[in-house]
Structure 1
């Protein structure tokens, strides 16, 4: 069975065979995996890690400690805690005909190792981590530009090593759609070796240098918190603490304030200087990207709004610093912005000297471009400031792909004294089509 973590774009897997279980690439919140195993009467025998993860804090060590399972890591990972090192093609026997065969597949990281599962001598499944993905491959540049091209060439070797497996072998990658660990947009969550041979564009590239050129041609952004994940997973992390969030009358002193309410509530009034990130699957990732890592936080939530999901997402990337939650803002919520549906947004854009800000990432700009828009990727807006071309005396129309990132930007703009108007529940492609329709009328 598989466990999807949408905000990270990752999959964790639980393989079961004759009452024994193999857990692959678990996130830190291990309760959901162990509960599933216990509910099926499965004894966890192995916990496998394909690599030292860049995008989340692993729960592998703690899952093994809690259950007595054998923790297996790539030998070259050299993690600081007790584990069984996996060496290339040195089989790990699980009994009852189960064999786990490590396959060294460097490229995404130097130590990266995939695991081929054999039942009674027949290869049936491959856990490929961040190596061969569905219609894609793992990024080689997360450890810095100095090593990126070397890792990209190694990825070429690794992809072909895996593609040489029997076509009927099922493919179970860890990284998938929505992950910043993929070199290009990944497709479905799982596949087969045969299907990837036929359709994966990365396998159609024969030359290692050409593959490196392709993988590195359009650098994707690297979330700021990624730099902390590798070291944490090398040294080990404590168990995820219980989700306990005290109720506060006002933000705790010395904390950043993160407003997790729906954007319509945020637009009507936020605490000045607070960061508005409405609670959704990628809440933790955006918080870890936009704020200084692991500094103390106070959450702002609606009355009755559940905050456990927000705390869990933060813990998945090693942030255990939530000090409490505020639900009654009273008259202090003075920071506001506007929301506009597509038709109203288009109509108001017709006013003279309208200012338009596109906060999507660069690869999205290439797919659909707004003529005359100022382009500033959301994290760059926070890191480098509001573009000097924007006039605070005039409204700023803000767009992204859905309104989510635009509403996050709007909170910052409002705090800086601008007058943001967010395109909500629609995206730049919709806006481009609507503007073309208006201009053609």
Structure 2
């Protein structure tokens, strides 16, 4: 008998796995915070004997090297991956025993990266599951454009071939267990569903139902923006990440928070966007702890800039620190918890800005306030805006706003996204810059119903 435990990394849209038998187990694509992998092994009462990487990751810092060091496990990395640390190179067809009657077999599946490798879990000699990393995902494949632009089309074609190899060599009932596809920008599209098999993918995955030319054309046309911090993940993983440090950061009082803001450092308020809009430290930015904190903070912050975290509780702070460590923001410079009134000095006041709905925006458009210039700012990505936008709105994607906000004309900025979270981030950036802002905290689906004119099929307006 074998087991497979899934470790969800919801903030990054990824999964890691622990699989094994009665005594020993293998960890697949472990995250930076390896304590959760160790806890999963402890619950099973097994020793981690092997750690495997499907590829050198571009979207998070791997915990593989540290986990192997602490457990004494063999660390398997694809042989063609260029890394600077000691590891056991894996070649196509290599097989190793995980526990009695349980083995892993390596299958070269280039495409997401040139060296990408999947691992087939075999129980008593029969394929039971395949850890596909960033190759075959649920309904899609991993994106091929994260390594080198000149290789993108070549890797897209390799993705098609790798998907067909998996489908040809594995039985239909083989469970497909990808690392990406649950919100990660490493996926070329988002997963439709939570579980799948080779048989299901054979009939539904574009890589398996389209010919190679049609597949590659559609894949390349649909590629979305790449988070800026991805440029740092691959080199960090290739060099061998340092062990993670999740001890509490130094405590910051009001004077230190003010000093760090004055020095140009980032002070990040982790509370929800409703609380932040109601009252916050002037100059601070709002990245909700319960949103995609790691993805958007790591995407927007100048790499290496010190960050101070403001949280409503020690638990919220610890969870955020853990999530940020997964993307290489290792140590907050300082932190504070509690009530925001405690984060400012006695002579200061908390700042605030209004929130609104698309219905409010429509009402304001019909009866504008005297003397008020209104700008509607859309911070969705290009791919989202292509489906339609509010007539007359200007467009700056959220990941470009920090360096482009000077392009916005004077006036009150009504900022929206697709659901409210990114509008909250954008509103905080603009508010910190001294702009009058209204955060449209609403689903974009409500814009048309509110009576706002929606434009589709023509050239989008940008600043």
Q: What is the TM-score when the length of structure 2 is the normalising length?
A: 0.89
User: 320, 326, 329: which is aligned to 1:310?
Assistant: 320
Asked if the contact 1:103–1:114 (Cα under 8 Å) also holds between the matched residues in 2, the reply is: yes
Asked if the contact 1:9–1:175 (Cα under 8 Å) also holds between the matched residues in 2, the reply is: yes
Q: CA deviation at 1:147?
A: 1.6
Show the counterpart of 1:421. 438
Q: Counterparts of 2:97 and 2:288 in 1: how far apart (Å)? A: 46
Q: Counterparts of 1:385 and 1:128 in 2: how far apart (Å)? A: 41
Q: CA deviation at 1:308?
A: 0.4
Residue 280 (structure 2) pairs with residue 270 (structure 1): yes
Residue 416 (structure 2) pairs with residue 399 (structure 1): yes
Q: Counterparts of 2:434 and 2:332 in 1: how far apart (Å)? A: 28
Q: 1:292/1:437 Cα in 2 relative to 1: closer, same or farther (>3 Å)?
A: closer
Instruction: Give the match's secondary structure for 1:124.
Output: strand
Pairs aligned (count)? 433
Instruction: Give the match's secondary structure for 1:76.
Output: coil
Asked if the contact 1:294–1:318 (Cα under 8 Å) also holds between the matched residues in 2, the reply is: no
Q: Counterparts of 1:421 and 1:203 in 2: how far apart (Å)? A: 46
Q: Counterparts of 1:156 and 1:271 in 2: how far apart (Å)? A: 50
User: 160, 172, 175: which is aligned to 2:177?
Assistant: 172
Asked if the contact 1:335–1:411 (Cα under 8 Å) also holds between the matched residues in 2, the reply is: no
Q: CA deviation at 1:176?
A: 1.6
Show the counterpart of 2:395. 375
User: 206, 212, 215: which is aligned to 2:211?
Assistant: 206
Identify unmatched segments of 5+ residues in structure 2. 455-463
Q: 1:196/1:288 Cα in 2 relative to 1: closer, same or farther (>3 Å)?
A: same
Residue 133 (structure 2) pairs with residue 129 (structure 1): yes
Show the counterpart of 1:182. 187
Residue by residue over 1:386-410, the C-alpha shift from the partner in whole angstroms, topping out at 9 and shown as x without a partner, is: 434x32xx32211112211001111
Show the counterpart of 1:361. 381
Instruction: Give the match's secondary structure for 1:94.
Output: strand
Show the counterpart of 1:30. 34
Q: What is the TM-score when the length of structure 1 is the normalising length?
A: 0.93
Superposed structure 1 runs of 4+ greater than 4 Å apart: none
Q: CA deviation at 1:355?
A: 2.2
User: 69, 74, 82: which is aligned to 2:78?
Assistant: 74
Q: CA deviation at 1:183?
A: 0.8
Show the counterpart of 1:385. 405
Show the counterpart of 2:343. 329
User: 3, 7, 10: which is aligned to 1:3?
Assistant: 7
Show the counterpart of 1:410. 427
Asked if the contact 1:107–1:152 (Cα under 8 Å) also holds between the matched residues in 2, the reply is: yes
Residues 31-46 of structure 1: pairs in structure 2 closer than 5 A: 31-46=35-50
Identify unmatched segments of 5+ residues in structure 1. none
Instruction: Give the match's secondary structure for 1:182.
Output: coil
Q: CA deviation at 1:8?
A: 0.8
Instruction: Give the match's secondary structure for 1:224.
Output: coil
Q: CA deviation at 1:54?
A: 0.4
Q: CA RMSD in A?
A: 2.0
Residue by residue over 1:223-282, the C-alpha shift from the partner in whole angstroms, topping out at 9 and shown as x without a partner, is: 111001001111111111133122211326443211112222322333333222121241
User: 362, 369, 380: which is aligned to 1:346?
Assistant: 362
Q: Counterparts of 2:23 and 2:314 in 1: how far apart (Å)? A: 41
Show the counterpart of 2:148. 144
Residue by residue over 1:291-350, the C-alpha shift from the partner in whole angstroms, topping out at 9 and shown as x without a partner, is: 112321111223666300111111101112302123423354554321124543432233
Residues 99-110 of structure 1: pairs in structure 2 closer than 5 A: 99-110=103-114
Instruction: Give the match's secondary structure for 1:136.
Output: coil
Q: 1:396/1:310 Cα in 2 relative to 1: closer, same or farther (>3 Å)?
A: same
Asked if the contact 2:108–2:118 (Cα under 8 Å) also holds between the matched residues in 1, the reply is: yes
Asked if the contact 2:11–2:292 (Cα under 8 Å) also holds between the matched residues in 1, the reply is: yes
Asked if the contact 2:53–2:76 (Cα under 8 Å) also holds between the matched residues in 1, the reply is: yes
Q: Which moves more between the two structures, 267-276 or 97-106?
A: 267-276
